[in-house]
Amino acid sequence: MGHPCVVCAHPAKRRCRGCQKAHYCCSQHQKSAWPKHKQLCELYQAAAQASGSMPPRNTYCGLCGAQDRPLRKTRCCRQVLCYDPDAFCAEKGTCMYNHDRYTLCDGHYERACGGDWRTCTKCKEYMGHDLESYVYYGTNSFNFPGLTLADPPRFRPKKCNECRRKIVKYTEGWSSLGDTVTCAWCAGFYNEGQGEYYESGEEEDPEVVDADAVEPEPVVV
């Protein structure tokens, strides 16, 4: 299916102009990912210079690029990421929490499948027929660069039974009852003017967005 969006796993039509490594389906997802991508993007850009190189792998977080936070290795793939020693170890939103909860990598370790999770048939079977979840957990930005599904399968996105709008499963609300799927707007989760109503990856302007043009926000890990 080509490159999936690192935020939602839907097909990406753009990528970060700064590092050329992160792919997105739309500008909204690129903007939402920028606070955590910024530092890693800067490291990649510096390494791309004629005399540049990446710093030693054990000196920065492989997910957000932070170099000023305590670091530790993951239990599953032994990669380095940042953590907050003063917070509960599973605090939601931290790099450690995200990798532990939202990747096939950690799930593969937890289930003691053995071998490489990227080619593990047991992990794929564990997801059942939900290919969207399989691709999301195997390619999102909570996975380490270079340690994602090499050739993620195509999947058919869910569509609202009422308005037929495509549902972006992991970034918006939706509900299901039996075989009936309803988007957040038809289900009444949002009032008029609330929520991000857009078709992922289907914007009028398909041009790649420059990462430097995205309004930077404080990095929250």
133-173: per-residue pLDDT in tens? Answer: 999 999 999 999 999 999 999 999 999 999 999 999 999 88
Distance CA 39, CA 47 (A): 13
Residue 138: predicted pLDDT: 98
Amino acid at site 155: F
- Global confidence as pTM: 0.82
Residues of the chain with pLDDT under 70: 1, 85-92, 190-221
132's tokens: 């969207």
CA 48 to chain centre: 23
Distance CA 44, CA 135 (A): 25
Are the C-beta atoms of 89 and 83 separated by less than 8 Å? yes
Residue 173: predicted pLDDT: 86
- Cα torsion at 67, 69, 73, 77 (round to 10°)? -60
Within the chain, residue ranges assigned H as helices are: 27-47, 95-101, 104-110, 121-126, 131-139
In the chain, where are the structural domains located? Answer: 157-197
Whose CA is closest to 96, among 34, 142, 31? 142
Residue 187: predicted pLDDT: 87
